[in-house]
Amino acid sequence: MRCKLCRQKAVYAPLRFCKEHFLAYYEKKVRRYLESTHTRNTSILIGVSGGKDSSALAEVLAGLAEEYGLKLGLLCIDLRIPDYSDKGTAVARTIAKRTGLKLHIVDMRDWPRATPDFANKKPCGPCGTLKRYLLNKVAVEEGYAFVATGHNLDDEFSSALHNLFQRNVGQLRRSQKKLPPRPELKLAGRVKPLYYLTEKENRLFCLLRGIPHDADECPYSMDNPQLSFKKRAVFGRDEKRNLLKSIEQLQRPAPDIPVGEEAGSLHACPSCGYATTSKDACVFCKLMTGER
């Protein structure tokens, strides 16, 4: 198969691109995200796990940082999952060296009470909470305006569909492609620059650019209900993109009501001061005090 633009050998069958044109397409999608969300002249803490998505994200953003005026840093949370976390942390260190970005590491040995019980059959719920909490906490403490995650089109599509199936409309309205910072709630903003790129495209970007990444999945991923749902949600790239675009339209705020207000009653946790939707202390504080 030949590239549809230059007739060189194609490396990406779905769009018939050669290496050079695939890399240009990939970067164009990230530029489009930054431009459509007006993400410029700001600071972003990128969560890196060592997997293909977050590694690709760190490298592509590092390449665009100067042009878009982005001050970037990396955060790796070492969950201490046996036979898994060490590899991810090692990759994060290599990515930091390659990109020259500052790497913050949170070692779960420092948070023994909050560490999910990985022997438990369902560690993913608390693990996800913990990762979101710590990413935000480090961003706020270190002065980053936004956190960036490697969420891709497949992740966003399956979580949107899951929320629809669960009638989880509040969550659906909150999971937008960009959320602004809310300093009064110690809440960093959120950006997902790989929002319109698929998992396959991120993997290929890593391979073509020689970006190190750990191809292994977390040993608990089989117990992760969101991941198993994702495997069932088999649709084409355009269908996925179109569903997300439809949801974006639905997410536009109703007149006079800011989306953040309407979508959930976010307030400051009485114990740690970070934003939460739970009625009293946030889940993290409950974990710390053994209430959960």
Site residues (vs ligand SF4, CB under 6 A):
123-124, 127-128, 218, 220-221, 224
Instruction: Give the closest residue to 232 by CA, choosing from 129, 162, 138.
Output: 162
Task: Return the number of the residue (23 or 153) whose C-beta is nearest Zn ion.
Answer: 23
Least CB distance from residue 252 to Zn ion, whole Å? 31
Listing DSSP states for 118-160 in one string gives TTSS--HHHHHHHHHHHHHHHHHHHT-SEEE----HHHHHHHH
C-alpha neighbours within 13 Å on the C-beta side of residue 109? 5
Indicate the SS3 state at residue 78: strand
Q: Pick what 194 binds: Zn ion, ligand SF4, none; C-beta below 5 to 8 Å, kind-dependent.
A: none
Q: Which residues bind Zn ion (CB under 5 A)?
A: 3, 5-6, 8, 18, 21, 269, 271-272, 282, 285
Query: Residue 292: which residues within 8 A CB-CB, separation 6 or more?
Result: 126, 283, 286
Q: Pick what 3 binds: Zn ion, ligand SF4, none; C-beta below 5 to 8 Å, kind-dependent.
A: Zn ion
Q: Pick what 269 binds: Zn ion, ligand SF4, none; C-beta below 5 to 8 Å, kind-dependent.
A: Zn ion
Least CB distance from residue 123 to ligand SF4, whole Å? 5
Total residues found in the chain within this entry: 292
Least CB distance from residue 81 to ligand SF4, whole Å? 6
Least CB distance from residue 246 to ligand SF4, whole Å? 28
Q: Are 171 and 128 in contact (CB under 8 A)?
A: no
Task: Return the number of the residue (124 or 194) whose C-beta is nearest ligand SF4.
Answer: 124
Task: Return the number of the residue (65 or 227) whose C-beta is nearest ligand SF4.
Answer: 227
Q: Are 244 and 194 in contact (CB under 8 A)?
A: no
